[in-house]
């Protein structure tokens, strides 16, 4: 090949690489936007629920323990205790169980299935609950009930998960909050718990 041909080939390869990088950046931006949109939906529901009850909501909380740095989407603190919510805004179908390390998301485009995996959100919630318990106990706060749920915010997402595990659609999450136990008084000091968790965030 002549030097000019080598230059043309090199330019073509560089152009392909740049296009691939651009495509990846666009995908990451889109996924980030989807994640933010999902969080906003859940945050709005929790804010309305907490507002009339003098509860507190902490969004995008990051706690650091000796073993992990844990990011938590939402924490609802009420007289009943604490509700941890992990938000997912995936479309298509979701397959998973309580023990697997990863779950699978399947999207159908032009009659082709595109599969991707993501960390088991139930295990993420388990780490979140452990981190909250550790922070509270280190600040001499005990006997606080903690529950956790994973909420998929897209209306048409199909969930293929075992019955009874803590995974809900947005519609079912709204129904969950209507249960009387979330308005019950478990003698939790909402203000103190919120201050402890807020002050324990990583800087």
Please write the tens of the pLDDT for every residue from 141-190.
Answer: 999 999 999 999 998 899 999 999 999 999 999 999 999 999 888 889 99
Rounded to two decimals, the pTM is: 0.80
Please write the tens of the pLDDT for every residue from 76-96.
Answer: 999 999 999 999 999 999 999
SS3 119: strand
CB atoms within 10 A of CB 121: 23
Distance CA 3, CA 196 (A): 67
Strand partners of residue 93: 106, 158
Domain range annotation of the chain: 3-199
Please write the tens of the pLDDT for every residue from 18-27.
Answer: 776 665 544 4
Q: Is the pLDDT of residue 53 over 70?
A: yes
**CA-CA-CA-CA torsion for 187, 188, 190, 191, nearest 10 degrees?**
90
Share of the chain above pLDDT 90, in %: 66
Of 145, 152, 122, the residue nearest 42 (C-alpha): 152
Surface-to-core class of residue 93, CB atoms within 10 Å of its CB (0-12 exposed, 13-18 middle, 19+ buried) = middle
Task: Using alpha carbons, list the distances in angstroms from residue 186 to 77, 131, 145, 146, 180.
Answer: 11, 21, 8, 11, 12
Q: 111: pLDDT confidence band, cut at 50, 70 and 90?
A: confident
SS3 91: coil
């Amino acid at each position: 090949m002549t030097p000019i041909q080598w230059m043309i080939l090199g330019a073509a390869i560089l152009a392909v690489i740049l296009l691939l990088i651009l495509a990846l950046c666009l995908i990451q931006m889109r996924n980030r936007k989807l994640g933010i949109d999902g969080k906003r939906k859940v945050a709005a529901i929790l804010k309305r629920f907490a507002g009339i009850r003098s509860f507190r909501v902490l969004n995008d909380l990051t706690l650091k323990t000796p073993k992990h740095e844990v990011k938590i989407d939402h924490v609802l603190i009420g007289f009943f205790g604490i509700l941890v919510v992990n938000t997912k805004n995936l479309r298509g179908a979701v397959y998973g169980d309580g023990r697997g390390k990863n779950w699978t998301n399947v999207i159908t485009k032009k009659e082709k299935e595109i599969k991707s995996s993501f960390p088991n959100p139930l295990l993420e919630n388990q780490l979140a609950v452990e981190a909250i318990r550790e922070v509270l106990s280190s600040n001499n706060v005990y006997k606080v009930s903690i529950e956790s749920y994973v909420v998929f915010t897209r209306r048409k997402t199909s969930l293929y998960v075992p019955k009874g595990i803590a995974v809900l659609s947005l519609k079912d999450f709204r129904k969950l909050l209507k249960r009387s136990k979330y308005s019950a008084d478990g003698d939790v000091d909402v203000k103190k718990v919120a201050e402890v968790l807020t002050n324990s965030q990583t800087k």
